[in-house]
Amino acid sequence: MNDMNFIRVPRALDGLPPLDLEMTAIRQADARLQEVAFTNAARAPELLTLFNRAWLDTSRYLNLLEYEMDVAERRLAEIRAIFLIDKLPTLLAEKGFASARSPLGSEDIRQAFLDRDEDYKRMQDLIGVIRSYLSLLETFQTGFENGYNSVKKLLGTDPSSWRQNPNLIQPTPAAPSPGLPSDDFKVTSGGINDDFFGTPR
């Protein structure tokens, strides 16, 4: 059962349950990549968290599929070996392709028989399915990485992320040590930060 939000991958080894990949969160994060174009400092942290989580989920699925690909390729090689040793000699003899000089026939003939083997075709199909899902998830992962980096870059250059809030009282410059004059430190008739406490009566 495969749809936009769920992927079920058959396993290379007999008897194992299918590999189920829940894609809802990844699809939702992918749909929000367009928000990078008009995000700001207030919304950036939520997008950074979203893309980071989606990247991690995608990486986990990629690791699972890469392992399944390795198993499937080893299983394909095993099926090929069994076919060449146990099945091919009989098939060649039945078709009259075997000879004393070439008991296993030519390379083209061997491959032609191998391509008709049901187990071999099934494993080839599975490898194709896994490869297509790997490509899909790699595309998602690249998108999340680019989205994350773009938002992070925007957060660093957005003036609203560092502009002072005019409603907050700004800190008073610290007094210098004795004997070390400072241009930033000023004593008036009302003392330090005279404007804050008001003019003395």
Single pTM value for the model:
0.71
- Give 8's strand partners: 20
What is the model's pLDDT at position 108? Answer: 83
What is the model's pLDDT at position 124? Answer: 96
* Buried/exposed code over 50-78 (b: 16+ C-beta within 10 A; e: otherwise): bbeebbebbeebbeebeebbebbeebbee
Distance CA 133, CA 135 (A): 5
The type of residue at 172 is T
What is the model's pLDDT at position 110? Answer: 86
- Per-residue pLDDT 10s for the chain (201 aa) are 456 788 999 999 989 999 999 999 999 999 999 999 998 888 999 999 999 999 999 999 999 999 999 999 999 999 999 998 899 888 888 877 766 666 666 778 888 899 999 999 999 999 999 999 999 999 999 999 999 999 999 887 655 544 454 544 455 555 555 554 444 444 444 443 444 334 444
What is the model's pLDDT at position 118? Answer: 94
* Buried/exposed code over 10-27 (b: 16+ C-beta within 10 A; e: otherwise): eebeeeeeebebebeebe
CA 114-115-120 angle, to 5 degrees, is 75
